[in-house]
Amino acid sequence: MGTDTEYDVVVIGAGPGGYVAALRASQLGLHTAVVEKCNTFGGTCLNVGCIPSKALLESSHRYAEIRQGAGRHGIVVGDVRLDLAVMMGRKDKIVNTLTAGVAALLKANQVRTFQGGGTLHSPGEVAVEVDGGTVEVLRSQHTVIATGSIPASLDSLPLDHELIVDSTDALSFEAVPQKLVVVGGGAVGLELASVWARLGATVTVVELMDQLLPGFDKQISRLLERVLSKQGVKVLTSSSVESCERANGRGQVKVKIPDNSTVELAADKVLVAAGRRPNTSGLGLEQIGVATDVKSGRVPVGERFMTNIAGIYAIGDVIGDPMLAHKAEAEGIAVAEIIAGKPGQVNYDAIAGVVYTWPEVAVVGKTEDQLLKAQIEYDTGVFHFRANGRAMAADNSDGFVKILAEKSTDRVMGVHMIGPGVSELIAEVVAVVEFGGSAEDIARTVHAHPTLSEVVQEAALAVGNRSIHSVPKKG
């Protein structure tokens, strides 16, 4: 195929999964088009998710470090003030640069782009609404749904985007709220809680489950809660928001706490960060018979990412957890290779999860709870950053690395980190997991000194109770 309306592949959605799928398909010689309803490419991640939040996390971290940490290094700082408009401008510039970069990549790779809403008319037809209603029909042998996800809503907290806001709103506050209530103690809620607490807000996080970061290693969650509390973030776990009412120009948030009593929290902003749900509205899935899960809204797919309708594929957040940009990218590459007749695949056991609080959290593989449930015997190695020279020199010694290795084979089953820079350290162990490596492989690898990566090596050594720089276990 090679006309303006006929393609080998049409991708609906130009987020991390969609634009990567389109680029890889074009690399493989497939005539490819991508349809994006927003004005810019990059999806939630580049526009209102991963990238702008990390820009604000970096800026707010530097602000807090100068105000609170410079003195410990013998640096005397004068009057430090916040220019929020400049901080937001820097964030927006980064977003604009990266989204423009995606557009340039698509053009350079000869991917045809259509900006408008895409709807499936049939298994081989995608109608694109452009210019306020003009419809153009694209025909293709293969269609990839990559429409991502949107913030989940709560009936008790209907969004008005002024008092009760979502994560997109919280990236663009015009002023620092005096009091901020964050509903949801997952990655998004904690990262945005960190940003605004550093910039001066009094922040309370309300989490329904009994720990922050539900599903993560419990030891990591407990430490993160302690550290965030020291940073001024109040945490209420096993708690739920019952209502939010306006009073005296603010919100009064009623929260049910573990003893079944109710507390009221004043709030200038209430951030609903209770997860995300697949974005399938308006795609025409029901009309052509594409199955969706009624409860979760996700699009079920097989091992080759095909839906129940031949020729229609789905990737990324729209097919469910983990809802991570790098997982979507991996699936985008894999589905393009499968369509091109190559053996594309994704190893879901080797996908890391990262939370960009400070200290950071990074994980890959199984937790102890999961291994116990699966009745897999394992050995544990733990090493703390407080015993690492580089971490001490940087005045960032909170945290640890925990490695879980199968007892019978020493194969690395899971790695759980909390500490400085672990978003980068996790890559080493992801590679080890990908290749089926062992704790011994990590332990025998020479790590440069002094570096934070030595904590990973020491944790691997600790699996066999031979960590060099920690006190041996008794018994």
**CA quadruple 448, 449, 450, 453: dihedral sign:** positive
Q: Which residue has the tokens 């809620």?
A: 189
- The closest of 338, 318, 316 to 328, measured between CA atoms, is 316
Token code pair at residue 172 = 């663009």
Report helix angle 16-27 to 325-339, nearest 10: 30
Beta strand extents in 322-470 (DSSP E only): 353-355, 360-365, 378-384, 400-406, 412-419
351 closest CA partner among 334, 339, 338: 334
Q: Which residue has the tokens 């895409």?
A: 118
In DSSP notation, 349-379 reads GG--EEE-SSSEEEEEE--HHHHHHTT--EE
Single-letter residue type at 349: D
238 in the Ramachandran plot: left (φ > 0), alpha (ψ -120 to 50) or beta?
left
* Phi-psi category of residue 86: left, alpha or beta, with phi > 0 → left and psi -120 to 50 → alpha: alpha
Q: Are 294 and 323 in contact (CB under 8 A)?
A: no
Of 73, 161, 384, 449, the active-site residue reads 449
Catalytic annotation present for 31: no
Paired strand residues for 379: 405
Nearest CA to 297 out of 317, 313, 315 is that of: 317
User: What are the DSSP E strand ranges found in 106-249?
Assistant: 112-115, 117-122, 125-130, 134-145, 149-151, 164-165, 179-183, 202-206, 233-236, 240-247
Q: Which residues are catalytic?
A: 449
